[in-house]
Amino acid sequence: MDYKELRHKYINFFKSKNHSHIPSASLIPENDPTVLFTTAGMHPLVPYLLGQKHPEGKRLVNWQKCIRTGDIDDVGDASHLTMFEMLGNWSLGDYFKKETIEYSFEFLKDVLGFDINKLHITVFEGDNDAPRDEESASYWKKLGIPDDRIHYKPKEDNWWGPAGNTGPCGPDTEMFIDTGIEKCSDNCSPGCRCSKYFEIWNDVFMQYNKNEDGSYSLLTQKNVDTGMGIERTVAMLQGKESVYETESFASIVKKIEDLSGKKYGFNEDITKAIRIISDHIRTAVFIIGDEKGINPSNIGAGYVVRRLIRRAIRYGKKLEIKSPFLSEISEVVIALMQEFYPELKQNKKRISDELNIEESKFEKTLQSGLQELEKILVKLNENNQKILSGRIAFKLYDTYGFPLEFTKEITEEKKIMVDVEGFNEAFEKHKELSKQAQAQNFKGGLADHTEKTTRLHTATHLLHRALKNILGEHVNQKGSNITSERLRFDFTHPEKINNETLKKIEDMVNEQIKKELDIKMEIMTLEEAKQKHATALFTDKYESKVKVYTIGDFSKEVCGGPHVNNLKELGKFKIIKEESSSAGIRRIKAILIDE
């Protein structure tokens, strides 16, 4: 049974139990600022779990694309993925534990034909917030699961949710398949991170709400939320060792083998690299190609895509794949998944454009990083030093995206060692600083220090437009320079601008910010941009395809980005200086103040 058949069997099974099939929602959650991505099928259903009426009724079923960035470091093993497909069925205040468990059992045994003797079950052991789930255990026993295959576990293991910081959650009962391999230790049991037990399905009994203060209260209705991982379940059905050997990945893996001339399974390093490239490109394709598509950038979800892409490229280098290769692999991903996610087909061109742009950007960064490192190595050699400091290794990581192993490989060829401890210290310090700096939303992702420059970048567009509106269309950009503190904008204008006019310009920018407009990005040819009256220096500097950033009907400008998603991220705009830059060119410096 493959990923297509499993999906249809699941939907049909629950349809036969009066569930309505609802579509997969966008990967970008609506109205939930606490997470970057949709992490489970229940995520878009939160309002209904809280009691709102769903237009399709009380019983729902679907497949949902999900992203869990927290699993990124585990990718490369047999089962962890950053993007996976989840089959789910829901009861919104309708059936509860008994029916849920009976449905799960019937589907696993009669429809999928799993050997029930390999099935292990976990249930919640109970604590101050909720009682021990003897009820669920009793239903499993009635269905024939013996005591020694029912395991009681604490909250860390058998409690699911909320998807963000607050919301519906509850105890769960999870289903695992014993793969038959040896236990990794005496304590090995379902939930252990080794590959002995594969978790395939989770039935959550959502009758609690987690509140802001960390306490739990009862919801008005008792809900059921279940989730079955398609990739893992197919792997188990087909007796495969990992999800990469199933249809969800096989042709991606094959493509990487062709491009690299290396064989999956040849050794651990190669297998791991191929898995990471497959996973990361697949996820990047889904994020960029989502109905609310997000492009690589330095903030939020955009930063996650950037990280995935760069990591894929680095592992591509390990396999000696020639760049550019991302877009070629993306075509395989799209071909595999478009039947279930038509948005990928619709956005095919944008996906490939964005991957190409990001790949060439990263190539350039890597090149300048390599030159920098060469210079440092020459110096160290001259001074007969044998150690590259942790601080420099970290700078290479932070500025040029060099992973530590990458730096180590290059320096060790020259018989120079890297101060790994120093690197780790610098890294920890950096993490601490960015943790402090980052707003506590972006739980699943990473905001970083360039968030500030991104905001100033967007403010520059607003300023540019306000200058044109107030001073006249003769105003043209002559230069722009942004640090984390301020923007600096040079433009053509014959005379000094008086304070009154400066105030008007400032007010116009702030007026726009107050409108909390979204920033829209489109890729088009320079010719199309011209026709749409986008502001740009229409010289040969722009490649034929350009990104056009639009802010309401106020500003439309050709630009490489990155920009904030919405003007409300900017705060208050303030001009701090106006001066001459050179003949016929004025200069404005401005800042953003957090409100």
* 8 A C-beta contact, residue 120 and residue 176: yes
Sequence-distant contacts of 434-442: CB under 8 A, at least 24 apart: 441/33, 441/34, 442/36, 442/300
Q: Identify the sign of the CA torsion 301, 302, 307, 310.
A: positive
Q: CA 302, CA 294: separation in Å to the nearest integer?
A: 6
Stretch that binds ligand SER, among 40-48, 289-297, 346-354, 584-592 (CB under 6 A): 40-48
Cβ-contact 260, 319 below 8 angstroms: yes
Return the number of the residue (204 or 592) whose C-beta is nearest ligand SER.
Answer: 204
Q: Taking contact as CB under 6 A, which single stretch among the options 47-55, 225-233, 450-458, 500-508 is the one that binds ligand SER?
A: 225-233
d(CA 299, CA 305): 10
Stretch that binds ligand SER, among 35-43, 112-120, 433-441, 495-503 (CB under 6 A): 35-43
Q: With CB under 6 A, what is the number of residues at the site for ligand SER?
A: 10
Closest to ligand SER by CB, 41 or 369? 41
**Cβ closest to ligand SER, residue 225 vs residue 506:** 225
445: number of Cβ within 10 Å: 22
Torsion angle in degrees (nearest 10) through CA of 532, 537, 543, 545 = -10
What's the closest the beta carbon of residue 227 comes to ligand SER, in angstroms?
A: 2
CA nearest to 284, candidates 360, 367, 233, 358: 358
What token pair was written down for 250?
Answer: 């096989």
Is 562 a residue that touches ligand SER (CB under 6 A)?
no
319: nearest Cα among 264, 374, 361: 264
Q: Which is nearer to ligand SER, 243 or 558 (CB)?
A: 243
Asked if 140 and 150 touch (Cβ cutoff 8 Å), the reply is yes
Residues 331-370 touching ligand SER, rule: CB under 6 A, are: none
Among 227, 293, 296, 444, binds ligand SER (CB under 6 A): 227
190 binds ligand SER (CB under 6 A): no
Smaller CB separation from ligand SER, 202 or 209: 202
Contact between 390 and ligand SER per CB under 6 A: no
42 binds ligand SER (CB under 6 A): yes
Six token digits for residue 304: 């996650």
Cβ distance to ligand SER smaller for residue 206 or 333: 206
Minimum CB–partner distance for residue 163 and ligand SER (Å): 7
Q: Is 225 in the site for ligand SER (CB under 6 A)?
A: yes
Cis peptide leading into 190, omega within 30 of 0? Answer: no
Residue 158 corresponds to which tokens in the numbers above?
A: 């058998």
Which one of the spans 224-232, 335-343, 409-417, 487-495 is the region binding ligand SER (CB under 6 A)?
Answer: 224-232
User: How does DSSP classify residue 292?
Assistant: T
Shortest CB 159 distance to ligand SER, Å: 10
400-405: list long-range contacts, CB under 8 Å, 24+ apart: 400/365, 400/366, 400/368, 400/369, 400/372, 401/310, 401/314, 401/362, 401/365, 401/366, 401/369, 402/366, 402/369, 402/373, 403/314
- The CA distance from 283 to 306, in Å, is 11
The dihedral over CA atoms of 407, 410, 412, 417, expressed in degrees to the nearest 10, equals: -30
Interaction between residue 448 and ligand SER (CB under 6 A): no
The residue number whose beta carbon is nearest to ligand SER equals 227
Stretch that binds ligand SER, among 175-183, 219-227, 360-368, 407-415 (CB under 6 A): 219-227
Q: How far is the CB of 202 from ligand SER (least distance, A)?
A: 4
Candidate ranges 120-128, 223-231, 259-267, 392-400; the one touching ligand SER (CB under 6 A): 223-231
Nearer to ligand SER, 210 or 563 (CB): 210
Kindly identify the residues of this chain, within the stretch 138-177, that bind ligand SER according to CB under 6 A. 160
Between 124 and 160, whose beta carbon lies closer to ligand SER?
160
Count of beta carbons in the 10 Å neighbourhood of residue 447: 20
Nearer to ligand SER, 200 or 351 (CB): 200
Greatest alpha-carbon span in the chain: 88
Two tokens at 435? Answer: 């943790």
Shortest distance in whole angstroms from residue 42 CB to ligand SER: 5
Cα-to-chain-centroid distance, residue 376: 34
| Segment interacting with ligand SER, rule: CB under 6 A, options 38-46, 354-362, 404-412, 534-542 | 38-46
Q: Which of 29, 88, 171, 300 binds ligand SER (CB under 6 A)?
A: 88
Closer residue to ligand SER, CB minimum distance, 204 or 564: 204
The residue among 41 and 302 lying less far from ligand SER, judged by its C-beta, is: 41
Cα gap 240→396, rounded to integer Å: 40
Beta strands per DSSP E along 413-505: 417-418, 477-482, 487-492
CA distance 301 to 159: 26
Give the nearer residue to ligand SER in terms of CB position, either 83 or 471: 83
- Binding segment for ligand SER (CB under 6 A), chosen from 143-151, 209-217, 222-230, 272-280, is 222-230
* Min CB(226)–ligand SER separation in Å: 5
Our CB check for ligand SER shows the closer of 91 and 202 to be 202
| Out of 29, 41, 76, 561, the residue judged to bind ligand SER by CB under 6 A | 41
- Applying CB under 6 A, the residues found at the interface with ligand SER are 40-42, 88, 160, 202, 204, 225-227
